[in-house]
Amino acid sequence: MIPYEVLEGNPGCWNFILSLTNGNSLSCFSSVDSEGTVQVLELPDPDFIIQDEFGNEITEICPGAQVNIIDNSNLSDPVLLFN
């Protein structure tokens, strides 16, 4: 487990290696390493603009009204990579 304090303020890609070992003092000894990369995103800062069908910014949505939601947040699609 990696403490949050290590990742806080350090978004980006992180490489991890997981090592598994079978060392139970029998005649066979084996180990397996698995390596992967994960993307650590920034903390989300949600920021949306709601517009009516004519492009005017609005603060309320009426039932049945057509609206556009413009995403100005710092979020991106997460990416998870494994080798």
Which pLDDT score, from 0 to 100, does residue 71 have? 86
The pTM assigned to this predicted structure is 0.42
Which pair of structure tokens corresponds to residue 39?
């993307």
- The torsion region of residue 27 among left (phi > 0), alpha (psi -120 to 50) and beta comes to alpha
Tens place of pLDDT per residue across the chain (83 aa)? 677 787 777 777 878 777 766 666 555 555 667 787 877 777 778 888 999 999 999 999 989 999 999 888 876 554 444 44
Residues contacting residue 44 through CB under 8 Å, at least 6 positions apart: 73, 74, 75
**pLDDT value, residue 80:** 46
Query: What residue segments make up the domains of the chain, in order of their start?
Result: 4-82
**pLDDT in the model for residue 28:** 56
